[in-house]
Amino acid sequence: MGLSTQDFVVAFRAFSTRACSPSEIRKALRVQASRFEKGRRLTLSESLVESGALSPFTAGELASNAPVHLRGDPEALTAAGELFLATETASEIELDRIVDSLTRPVDPRTLKEVPVPAGFSGYDISWEVGRSRTGSVYRGSKRGAATPVAIKVFRKDVFATDAAKAAFLERMASGSPEDGPGLIKVFEARDVDGHAVVVQEFVEGVPLDTLLGERKVSLRRGFEIVGRAAALVAPAHGRGVAHGRLSARGILVQSNDHPKIDGPHRPEGVTPADDVAVLGGVLYEIAAGAPPYGGFRSHRLKPPSHHNPACAGEAERIILKALARDPARRYPDARALSEDIGRFLRHEPVTADVDASEAAPPSRTHIAVPRRRRGWKIAIAAAAILVPATLYALLNTGGNPPAPAPVPPPVTAAPPPATPPSAPPPPVPAPAPPKVDPRVKELAAKGPLTPNEEIDFQMKASGLLAKRQFDELDRLAEEALIRGPEAGWAHYYRAFVALERGDDETSLKHADRALALGLNRTALFELRFDLRLARAEYRQALEELERLFPKESVSAANQEILRLNREISRDPNHAASYIRRGAMHLHRRLPGRAAEDFAKAVASGDSRADYFYALALKEEDKVAEAAEAVRRFLAAHGAIPGATEAKAFLALLPQ
């Protein structure tokens, strides 16, 4: 471990620009690990040059000190992070630290001022009042008038093309009187000397993100401000029109705590549900003191009460409903969100009915294993194995199904001499060949993936995972498996998606296959560990920990325990954290500490931990207590997958 920020930036830029392939970066990392120059380790850019992957000029460009926008290319961000995890160059904690440091808002004092273009006329400029990545804001007034206006001058490189800039200016100038007085009015928007310039109403106020950064917003005050902001955009939502540019920075808080909102952007394809999700993100930051998606795996959302236990309850439910994965489960518009915030502020019951599992990928140790029949899933799994095999047979027989094997004649015992021989039974008809899915046949006809196509597929899969587009990710991984060659990474992504859908059996099938194909990836081991916890197969969960934290990785195991300590200190009643920490203690051969954690997990409401508690007691030679604990587990959870394992464990205990 010990990844530097510069090395991460080099890898990110290499993926973003496709300057080199993942295999070349892996080779450079091996060179980096084995070479020292003048008592220091080579940087990644130097190792890329040393390994012949890049020229010194290109490597220098990748290692430049220019600002890097990680969130602008989530595919490259995910690919770089997963590569460092797979090669054990960095832990996820280190990656979170690096990514958060690179995505922290820039201090405006470090940015250059964008002067008012010389060709801008008709206004008197007073002074600069603000500065950001996109440009500068000036206070001024129209000549001959005393009313102040805000003049925004955008940097030239904000827009990728002149067409994009023209479209932006057109949208800014198309404000509607129906937007209401709460939205900042735009007087004019034009292109001046290559700069987009927007003149709008001047508001005496402070951006909400500034107040959040200065920790000047309490939970109640923040909900009041966002509730009022939601009410301001509600009229547009009532017409089915989204704002499209909401943000904490675009909400200006006046001295009376009444907000004014930056003018609408109205990009194509944005819906009121998207605006609701943005306001939910602002509420999350108010409640948690941190943005909703941070760190390397930014698609993972923790309930805000993990950061701030004081917001647990109805405030958290409002936030989670606004951030629901499925837009249909969010508030339908800003008015509904504003009304629910009002109920919360009046101490009335709220209507929010979304839990954390719907607002973000489920916490793996919280996935309940429903009591359901699994026969149909086994049939689907068998069909999934049978269809590719049949397709292979079809493609290797010129498109015609192979002739059925001849049915051997029945074997009958010799009859007694006096009894005439009986007629042979009719031949058993051959089963009809299974039908081949046309999509499977079409994909297989494309032929196996080339090495370059496989790299492209993996890059795209990383991006889809970062964007949480699970249906597309599943189809992409399925295509990779149909076309071949069979690859562990594709099975890993299908396992991940299946777990997100609550289908733990399909997830386990793909995870097992990924492991059998030799995928040696920390993320896979973590997924398998979470699967075993979800199924309460705790002895197998400990086996997965052996892969995830081998004996030589003591530091990584200690970091995980420290992380769980912080989680428990924030939420002392979080059973899943006690179970994970107890498993880590049992892995480290500390059964006494493990037993304490499992007992606390049971006391916190997860009685499945009784089985883990029994495993810890057995290690302490408390056999009678272990047997009693596992019997309690079986009485309460006899229908879940872990029950089979628990019964075998109970049978081995001395009676």
pLDDT in tens, 541-583: 888 888 888 776 667 777 788 888 888 888 888 888 899 899 9
Between these two residues, 274 and 437, which has the higher pLDDT value? 274
Using alpha carbons, select from 483, 400, 470 the residue that is nearest to residue 439.
Answer: 483
pLDDT at residue 507 is higher than 80: yes
Can you tell me the distance from the alpha carbon of 655 to that of 383, in angstroms, rounded to the nearest whole number? 44
Q: Kindly tell me the burial class for residue 438, based on how many C-beta atoms sit within 10 Å of its own C-beta (0-12, 13-18, 19 or more).
A: exposed
pLDDT at residue 398 is higher than 70: no
| pLDDT, mean of residues 50-56 | 88
Token duo for residue 136: 């500068």
pLDDT in tens, 599-615: 999 888 888 889 888 88
- Please provide the CATH number assigned to the domain covering 207-360: 1.10.510.10
- Inter-axis angle of helices 609-619 and 623-637, to 10 degrees? 170
pLDDT at residue 383 is higher than 50: no
- Please provide the CATH number assigned to the domain covering 110-201: 3.30.200.20
For CATH 3.30.200.20, list the domain ranges present in the chain.
Answer: 110-201
Q: Long-range CB contacts (< 8 A, 24+ apart) of 618-626?
A: 618/649, 618/653, 619/586, 619/589, 619/591, 619/594, 620/591, 620/592, 620/595, 623/653, 623/654, 626/653
Cβ atoms of 640 and 535 within 8 Å: the answer is: yes
pLDDT at residue 241 is higher than 90: no
Strand partners, 495: none
| pLDDT, mean of residues 35-59 | 81
Query: Mean pLDDT, the chain, as a whole number?
Result: 79
How far the first Cα of the chain sits from its last, in Å, is: 47
- Please provide the CATH number assigned to the domain covering 443-652: 1.25.40.10
Residues above pLDDT 70, as percent of the chain: 81
pLDDT at residue 208 is higher than 60: yes
Can you tell me the distance from the alpha carbon of 587 to that of 583, in angstroms, rounded to the nearest whole number? 6
| pLDDT, mean of residues 298-312 | 75
Cβ atoms of 135 and 154 within 8 Å: the answer is: yes
Beta pairing class for 123-131 and 40-41 = unpaired
Between these two residues, 5 and 375, which has the higher pLDDT value? 5
* Alpha-carbon separation of residue 113 from 106, 117, 142, 502, 530 (angstroms): 14, 12, 22, 51, 50
Helix (H, G, I), strand (E, B) or coil at 96: helix
Between these two residues, 551 and 371, which has the higher pLDDT value? 551
Residue 558 identity = N
| pLDDT, mean of residues 413-426 | 49
Cβ atoms of 365 and 530 within 8 Å: the answer is: yes
pLDDT at residue 151 is higher than 90: yes
Between these two residues, 96 and 322, which has the higher pLDDT value? 322
Can you tell me the distance from the alpha carbon of 280 to that of 30, in angstroms, rounded to the nearest whole number? 44
Helix (H, G, I), strand (E, B) or coil at 640: coil
Token duo for residue 397: 């027989």
For CATH 1.25.40.10, list the domain ranges present in the chain.
Answer: 443-652
Band of pLDDT at residue 334, cut at 50, 70 and 90: very high
Using alpha carbons, select from 245, 275, 248, 147 the residue that is nearest to residue 199.
Answer: 147
Cβ atoms of 545 and 612 within 8 Å: the answer is: no
- In this structure, what DSSP letter does residue 292 have? S
The alpha carbon dihedral of 229, 231, 232, 234 has a sign of positive
- In this structure, what DSSP letter does residue 91 have? -
Can you tell me the distance from the alpha carbon of 234 to that of 559, in angstroms, rounded to the nearest whole number? 46
Residue that the structure tokens 């020229």 belong to: 55
For CATH 1.10.510.10, list the domain ranges present in the chain.
Answer: 207-360
Q: Residue 188: enclosing H or E segment and its boundaries?
A: strand 186-192
Can you tell me the distance from the alpha carbon of 90 to that of 444, in angstroms, rounded to the nearest whole number? 37
pLDDT at residue 409 is higher than 60: no
Token duo for residue 133: 């990545």
Residue that the structure tokens 């008038």 belong to: 145
pLDDT at residue 456 is higher than 70: yes
Cβ atoms of 577 and 592 within 8 Å: the answer is: no
Can you tell me the distance from the alpha carbon of 244 to that of 275, in angstroms, rounded to the nearest whole number? 6
pLDDT in tens, 261-270: 887 766 667 8
Half-sphere exposure of 88 toward its Cβ, with a 13 Å CA cutoff? 14
| pLDDT, mean of residues 281-298 | 77
pTM (predicted TM-score): 0.47
pLDDT (0 to 100) of residue 364? 32
